[in-house]
Amino acid sequence: MMPIDQSKPVLVTGGSGYIASWIVKYLLEQGMAVRATVRDANQRQKVRHLTQMGAQFPGKLELITADLLDPGAFDRAAQGCELVLHTASPWLISGYKDAANAFIKPALEGTRNVLKAVNGSQTVKRVVLTSSVAAICGDAADFVAGGKPALTEADWNTTSSETHQPYSYSKTIAEKDAWRICKRQQRWDLVAINPSMVFGPSLTTGTISGSVSLMKQFGDGTARFGVPDLSLGMVDVRDVAQAHLNAGFTAEASGRHILSAGEMNLLEIGRILEDHFGSKFPFPKRVSPKFIIWLTAPLFGLTRPFVSKNIGYRIRYDNTCGKTRLGMTYRPKNETIIAHFQQLIDDGLIKNRA
């Protein structure tokens, strides 16, 4: 691919999101013009952090209202751009009644609508898609059964469905469809970013993510009696944002890229927080037995199949590709966890209970 012309605007979909907000910030700080799509640019509270960024860089940031399910909503935004960073996708793990309409349809149709706009623009050269390790592997038990030392970009989630791990299913089918659409044409190429669980400070108090919910449980006492023996890969949101820029502007970049600074279980996260913050918060001291987690799963928005196939298993991700192809380096995991928790305290989302 020819190098991206950095004088042209960069389109960032889902611009008010957890990852996208940092992407917008980094692009602006590098002097680039940004078009950020949001669900409703008139909802001032939800886009306040973006308008504040725009005020720091006059004339460089344009907010455009575009709903994932609205055909043609991204057409104008894509015109004149050479680089499109598609981060917009719903995030819901619990609290939904209809998985298909909550996030499967928006993830798939949203990707199709954005790529239709890309096909309709004669200027776009590259699309960077925010996928997930959820598209790499569905359950930790799948990884263990596979007998590999670590998951790689060659792996695909084959076990999630609309009824089991529907969020993971949505990320899988959306990424697969993006590759299918890309292969039908020759003008633009596609690079996928596959982060593990994203932690780290948010640029807005309105962030909705699994890691924010988890951190709140560490601080509000929900986890004080124990946590599941759940292993997960983790990566700092600022590193994920930087990976998107590296993927966009590295001409030879291609394919998929797992992003992970390493793996931890929930008790290890709790110990890092306790070592730093002391007894100010009711951090967990033990791992809860799996059968207790299984029995109480519905009370915490978990399904029993999820518990059966993920609790007590260790998972590993090979991050070599991101390091070698995108030049990625990762912040230490403890630094990320502490910064994330401190930001939630500063924003008043976690109260000192000691």
- Give the residue numbers marked as catalytic: 171
Cβ proximity of 200 and 237 under 8 Å: yes
Distance, CA of 124 to CA of 147 (rounded, Å): 41
Name the strand (E) or helix (H) holding 48: helix 44-56
Question: Helices H, strands E: what count in the chain?
Answer: 14, 10
Cβ proximity of 134 and 198 under 8 Å: no
Distance, CA of 289 to CA of 295 (rounded, Å): 10
Cβ proximity of 72 and 109 under 8 Å: no
User: How many Å is the Cα radius of gyration of the chain?
Assistant: 20
Residue 31 CB neighbour total at 10 angstroms: 10
Distance, CA of 38 to CA of 354 (rounded, Å): 39
Would you state the structure tokens that stand for residue 350, as one six-digit string? 């976690």
Would you state the structure tokens that stand for residue 287, as one six-digit string? 């791992």
Cβ proximity of 263 and 310 under 8 Å: no
Residue 251 CB neighbour total at 10 angstroms: 12
**211 Rama class: left (phi>0) / alpha (psi -120 to 50) / beta:** alpha
Would you state the structure tokens that stand for residue 263, as one six-digit string? 């793996």
Residue 263 CB neighbour total at 10 angstroms: 18
